[in-house]
Amino acid sequence: MTDKLWTFDDFVAGMKGRPTAVGPAVSGISIDSRTVQAGDAFFAIRGDRFDGHRFVGAAAGHGATVAVVAADQLAGLGRMTIPLVVVQDVLEGLQDLARASRARSTARIAAVTGSVGKTSTKEMLGHVLAAQGPTHFSPASFNNHWGVPLTLSRMPADARFAVFEIGMNHAGEITPLVAQVRPHVAIITNIEAVHLEFFPDGVDGIARAKAEIFSGVEPGGAAILNGDSPQFERLALLAMDAGIDNVLSFGTGRDADARLEALDMQADHSRVSARILDQLVEFTIGAPGRHLVQNSLAVLLAVSKLGGDVAEAAAALGGLSAPKGRGARHRLAIGQGDATLIDESYNASPTSMRAAITVLAQARTAGAGRRIAVLGDMLELGDDTLKLHAELAEPLVAAGIDRAYLAGPSMRALWEALPDAMRGHYAETANELEAILLDELGAGDVVMVKGSNGSRMAPIVETLKTRFTPAPVESDPATEGPV
């Protein structure tokens, strides 16, 4: 794809902005002055904690060649070394640019939502499509009111495919986002009991909110739904009510349009046989987990509807690896041996906790090594919070997990439900738990860390990686040389 993302004139016109001077072409879009690259346009968005207008100078110093600023902040910026584009509201300017990007694009586009598995499905779909043509998708979970327009505004005009993740924790959030994306294919991975704090009517309300994604599907587009979900029929009806005639299913049922035929799950990969519409494909997924297998069926079904090659996409799944915070594995050097760290720290729900526990159960230990679960609170679960935490005892016991180390007020309920032999340590905070865990890991262990973002489990992962960094492998001088 081309390095020139926007000509300066098209950039300004897309936002209906007012430039203070003529500027160069734009090669990237940034809303964070710390990560600005040379040639970027910096959008001075007002966030919850910071106002981007304070960092326009820093962005220019890091290589930004233009900044987008609000009219009511212009006077306070002083003399700038780069051109400015003045708009009424910077976030709305970014959204306008996103709509302009979508309007000029000829890409075939997919949008992914669901209670769990959004990011891994987006990553899988982006990965397999990239093997078939220029493909655009976000490098992280840019799925909210600023992440979606940011990803859209970064979409090159010559992209053949694009994949967008759309999230929500309140009703009404998806509708304006999918109106910007206007996908040809909409995927809902599943509907589960997450964000219950904001949905007093439970999973029925969550299903209706997720179904908002259908409102933006392009005419003639398709909806791809989990046929094994209890919410399938409800979602299918909502899709048809939105004018989508092409409603497809994935799962294990006989009538599924993408059907799992056979599965061999290993500790670090899965071998799959599946029928995608009328095509039988056999493939390997280069990361473990039943949830990845299930969502790979949706991915291959989407490829078929986006005009890609299903067999080629299935073959590309072998090169998949789990992303940071969602199953990425790391080797830890402990004593004279190694341990394995499974990083699931990005987020957590009852369903994703169970999936991660299953992955831990399948992991290989060495010697006297143990399978250790390090779990933090699951947030936004409403009145059932303590019950849902306590219920994790059953899958932990069934999986044969050796030790559980728990952090957070809600995890107290799980601690009290665990058998004594499984209790490692409980702490009110992840920071308190960290010091205990560092002293108790041993060679041969496999440790999995998971919790909601607010439970602060990710720093535990980083500390483990730093404390137990393997020594670099010394190279053989005889093999060194230019490559």
**Is residue 252 marked as binding?**
no
Domain 105-319: what homologous superfamily?
Mur-like, catalytic domain (3.40.1190.10)
State pLDDT tens for residues 425-450. 999 999 999 989 999 999 999 999 99
Domain chopping of the chain, boundaries = 8-88, 105-319, 328-467
Considering the entire predicted model, what is its pTM?
0.81
State residue 481's pLDDT score.
29
Query: Which top CATH class is 8-88?
Result: alpha beta
Q: Give pLDDT tens digits for 233-292.
A: 999 999 999 999 999 999 999 999 999 999 998 878 899 999 999 999 999 998 888 889
Asked whether residue 424 is marked as a ligand-binding residue, the answer is no
Rounded to the nearest 5°, which phi and psi values hold at 340?
Answer: -115, 130
Closest CA to 194 of 355, 324, 423: 355
Query: Is residue 409 within 8 Å of 428, Cβ to Cβ?
Result: yes
CA-closest candidate to residue 283, choices 328, 315, 261, 330: 315
Q: What is the largest CA-CA distance in the chain?
A: 70
Among 228, 246, 217, 224, smallest CA distance to 301 is for 224
- Tell me: is residue 52 an annotated ligand-binding position: no
Instruction: Give the Cβ contact number of residue 463 at 10 Å.
Output: 16
Q: What is the DSSP string of 310-325?
A: HHHHHHHGGG--PPTT
Which portions of the chain are predicted below pLDDT 50?
1, 473-483
Q: Is 118 annotated as a binding residue?
A: yes
The topology (CATH level 3) of 328-467 is Protein-Tyrosine Phosphatase; Chain A (3.90.190)
The response to whether 305 counts as a known ligand-binding position is no
Confidence at residue 47, expressed as pLDDT on a 0 to 100 scale: 82
The pLDDT of residue 263: 94
| pLDDT for position 476 | 33
